[in-house]
Amino acid sequence: MLAWWRNRSRGRADSLAGKANRLAADGLWAGAEAALRQVVRLHTAELGPQASATLAARGELAAALAALRRYEEAETESRAVLPLAVAAWGEDHADVRELRGVLGRALMALERYEEAEEELRAVLPLAVAARGEDHTEVHDARLRLSRVLVATGHVAEAEELARAVLAAHPAVDLVRVCAWRARALALNNLGRHRDALAEYTTLLTEASSVLGAGHRLMLAACVSRFQQLVVLGEYDRVEQEYPALLSVLPDGDPRRAAVHSARLFALVSAGRHVEAEAFARKVRARSPGAGLSLGLARSLNALGRAEEALRVLTEEAESDDLGADEGPRAVLTATVTAQVLLGLHRPDEAESRARHAVELAQRHYHPHNHRALEAATTLGRALAAQGRRHEAESQLTRCATAWREHFGARHPYTAVVEAELAALESP
C-alpha cells in the first residue's frame, strides 16, 4: 500500500512538472509558478528537501519568479537552493549554471550590479567549457554579462563579449539580434555614437525580414537608432523620421515617450526653444515622463525662464519621476539642474551639481559619450561663470577637442563650447 501511494505521488508530481513546462513555454508564468510550488511540496514530502528532483523543481520555481518580475522572491529562492545544488551536483552542472544565471538576472533587475556581475562571471567559463563557443547557453551567458558590465562601467569588455557572440553565431535570429543590441549599447556608452548608429542600422536591415518589422526587438532598435541620430546632431533626419516612427508604436507603448523625448532634445539643441516648449507641454500633458520634463526645463532655461525650469525639475524630483539618484539617467538630471542653476546666476551651486554629474558619468560612460561630454562642458561653464579663468579654459579646451573630434565641427555643442572659450579669451 505504501509503495502504491509513493508511485501515485511521484506520478502526480511528474504530471504537474509537465504542466509547468507547457505553461512556461507559452509564457503563462503565473500558472507555471502554481504548478511548480505543488511539485516542490510533493517532492519535498516524498523524496526530501535535498533530493535532486526537489532541487531541480526549486530552481525552475526561481526562474518562474524571475520571469514574473518578482525579483526579491527569485533571489531568495535562488540563494536558498544554490548551496544545496552545488553540494549535490557540483559547480559545473547545467542546473547550477542556470540557477546562477537566474540569480544574476534578479540581482541586475534589483540594480545590485556588482553582485550580479560576480554571479554571471562565474557562469561564463563553465558554460564555455561544457558547451563550446557556438551554443545558446554560452551566448546567453555572454550577453547577460555584457549587459551588467555596461551598468558597472566595464563597457569595453561588454562590447567585446557582444562582438564575440556575433563572431561565433552568424545566423540571423534572436540571439544575433540581442548581440547587435548589446554591442550597440556598449558602443553608445563608449562614446562611439556613429558606430552605434551603424550597428542599429545593420540590425534593422538584416533582421527585419526574419523577425518582422513589428517585432518588439525591431521596434526597440528603431527607437535606439532614432536616439543616436539626435545625439549626433542629425536634426533634419530626426524631423523626417519622427512621424513615421511614432506611427508604428502602439498607443500606450512606453517607447513613445522616449521618441517624444528624443525629438524634444533635438528641438532644444537646434535652438528652436519656443517650439520645444510648446511641444513639451502638449506631449507632457498626455504622457508625463522624466525625459520630457528635463527637455521642458532645458527649453525654459534657454528662454530666460530659469525659475520656471527649476520648478519643473523640483516637481519631478518630488514625484520621484526622475529615477534613481545614482543611475545613468541621473547624469542627465544633474547636468540639466546645473544648467538651470547657471541660468539663475548661482554658479557655485551649478559647479557642485555639474561635478556630481561628471562623477556619475565616470561610473557609466566613456569620457567621449555624449552625456559625459555635456556634463564636463557644463562644469567648464560653471567655472567660467565664477571667473576661474584658467580652470575653465583647461576644462573647456578638453571638451572642445572631444566635441570636434567625435561629433564634428557642425555639432551644436561644438559651437557652444568654442563660444565659451572665445568669451574667456576676450578682454
Task: Give mean pLDDT, residues 324-338.
Answer: 83
Domain spans in the chain, listed from the N-terminal domain onward: 1-109+116-123, 162-225, 354-427
What CA–CA distance (Å, rounded) separates 183 from 164?
10
CA angle 92, 98, 101 (to 5 degrees): 110
Span 146-180, pLDDT tens digits: 999 998 989 999 999 999 999 999 999 999 999 99
Q: Is 425 exposed, middle or buried (0-12, 13-18, 19+ CB in 10 A)?
A: exposed
Residues 6+ apart with CB under 8 A from 358: 372, 375, 376, 379
Average pLDDT, the chain: 90
How sure is the predictor about 427, in pLDDT bands with cuts at 50, 70 and 90? low
- Residues belonging to the chain: 427
Residue carrying C-alpha cell 542556470? 98
pLDDT score of 355 more than 70: yes
Model pTM greater than 0.95? no
Q: How far is CA 69 from CA 11, 20, 351, 382, 402, in A?
A: 30, 17, 39, 42, 41
Task: Give mean pLDDT, residues 61-79.
Answer: 94
Span 121-134, pLDDT tens digits: 999 999 999 999 88
pLDDT at 362: 92
Span 92-116, pLDDT tens digits: 999 999 999 999 999 999 989 999 9
pLDDT at 6: 44
Cα dihedral 7/8/10/13 (nearest 10): 170
How sure is the predictor about 79, in pLDDT bands with cuts at 50, 70 and 90? very high
**DSSP 8-state secondary structure symbol assigned to residue 353:** H
What CA–CA distance (Å, rounded) separates 298 from 25?
46
Asked whether 46 and 10 are in contact (CB, 8 A), the reply is: yes
What CA–CA distance (Å, rounded) separates 117 from 148?
6
pLDDT score of 184 more than 80: yes
Residue carrying C-alpha cell 542599429? 200
How sure is the predictor about 289, in pLDDT bands with cuts at 50, 70 and 90? low
Residues 6+ apart with CB under 8 A from 277: 296, 299, 300, 303
What CA–CA distance (Å, rounded) separates 407 from 412?
9
Task: Give mean pLDDT, residues 215-237.
Answer: 95
Q: For domain 1-109+116-123, give the fold.
A: 1.25.40
Task: Give mean pLDDT, residues 332-347.
Answer: 96
Asked whether 57 and 32 are in contact (CB, 8 A), the reply is: no
How sure is the predictor about 326, in pLDDT bands with cuts at 50, 70 and 90? low
Task: Give mean pLDDT, residues 75-85.
Answer: 95
What CA–CA distance (Å, rounded) separates 195 from 175?
20
How sure is the predictor about 363, in pLDDT bands with cuts at 50, 70 and 90? confident
Task: Give mean pLDDT, residues 262-266.
Answer: 95
